[in-house]
Amino acid sequence: MILDGTLDASVQAAALALQQGQLLGLPTETVYGLAADSDNDAAVAQIFAAKGRPANHPLIVHVADAAAITRYAQAVPVFAQQLIDAFWPGPLTLILPRLPQAAQASTGGQDSVGLRCPSHPVAHAVLQACQQLDPPVWGVSAPSANKFGRVSPTTAQHVAAEFGDALLVLDGGACEVGIESTIVDCTRGVPVLLRPGAITRDDIERACGTRPLSKEELPAQTPRASGTLLAHYAPNAKVRLMDAGQLQSALDLLGPEGRHIAVYHRSPLRSASRAIHLRAMPGDALATARELFGTLRDFDELGVRLIWIETPPDSADWEGVRDRLQRAAAAG
């Protein structure tokens, strides 16, 4: 059931549902989440079951404000505090050392916890209402509201299509950011970028004075972020990334099979076959992120078998979009 998330009554109903251990489709500025009370292990188990997500992929705990960090994290390093001051509320998740009793199922028992304070007004209203309940709900765990490995939802309708009418979904409109939050691991003494997003490596460096390392620059470790698995964000069609020259050559060679192909391009294309579904990528990274997952869903709805995408620029502002596209392509 979809409720208008801008109404107080819907927000209250949603907060009560969370307190009672139910799941909720929650709009955030990045993507829609499938939410449950972070400290209710049975409710959190339902998230893993509904998504088909392996239990060793921890969930992000969403909080109403930075004060709620003390309910989940043991300590906040100076550079993490600088990131909080600069970017919360907003699309930034910090991995911090976890308090032993907090969010156990959510974190899969790991000694760290991912925390994020979203800026979306509906998410914020729900989190605040949760804090005011008796007993309060201090944190709300929410992975993206899609089946494991699939494209993340950016509208309430996407969530309802994925999980059916039985799920309560708050409608907060189309997500502003469109790709998941930037994740920075703050447990290693220096910031480590686990997942790129709208807040870029450059933004992080400006805020805390240290350029974040990449996971690849760390000593060997086990991967623990599902958003960081190589194959993820997969539409039904096979995705292939190409530079402008490759794309043009491939189009030049196409015959009638072109009707099975959708193209998401940046450069102007010569004499593309009319049968092809063409869509131009916006010129800037933020606008592309906003429409990216919806565009992949639209292509799937056309029933195409292949999606050819022109590789975005190599600059830091495009890192989040490039990452999602590379992983959608790896899933093929």
Q: Which stretch binds ligand TXA (CB under 6 A): 4-12, 53-61, 244-252, 259-267?
A: 53-61
Strand blocks (E) in the chain: 2-4, 24-26, 33-37, 60-62, 92-97, 112-116, 140-141, 168-171, 182-185, 192-195, 213-214, 238-242, 261-265, 277-280, 306-310
The answer to whether 142 is a known ligand-binding residue is yes
Q: Are 269 and 251 in contact (CB under 8 A)?
A: yes
Q: Which stretch binds ligand TXA (CB under 6 A): 64-72, 180-188, 202-210, 275-283?
A: 180-188
Question: Alpha-carbon distance 13 to 5, whole Å?
Answer: 10
Q: How far is CA 229 from the centre of its chain?
A: 13
Q: Is 91 helix (H, G, I), strand (E, B) or coil?
A: coil
Nearest of 332, 271, 245 to residue 296 by alpha carbon = 332
Q: Are 275 and 256 in contact (CB under 8 A)?
A: yes
Nearest of 264, 291, 26 to residue 159 by alpha carbon = 26
* Residue 228 interacts with, from ligand TXA, Mg ion, none (CB under 5-8 Å by kind): ligand TXA
Say whether residue 89 binds ligand TXA (CB under 6 A): no
* Residue 224 interacts with, from Mg ion, ligand TXA, none (CB under 5-8 Å by kind): ligand TXA
Least distance in Å: CB of 48 to Mg ion? 12
Say whether residue 144 binds Mg ion (CB under 5 A): yes
Interacting residue with ligand TXA among 6, 228, 273, 326 (CB under 6 A): 228
Q: Which stretch binds ligand TXA (CB under 6 A): 12-20, 108-116, 158-166, 263-271?
A: 108-116
Question: Alpha-carbon distance 74 to 185, whole Å?
Answer: 14
- Numbered residues of the known binding site for L-threonine: 30, 62, 116, 142, 181
Query: Applying CB under 6 A, which residues contact ligand TXA?
Result: 28, 30-31, 33, 57-60, 93, 95, 107, 110, 112-114, 116, 142-144, 180-181, 183, 194, 224-228
- Numbered residues of the known binding site: 30, 53, 62, 116, 142, 144, 152, 181, 195, 233
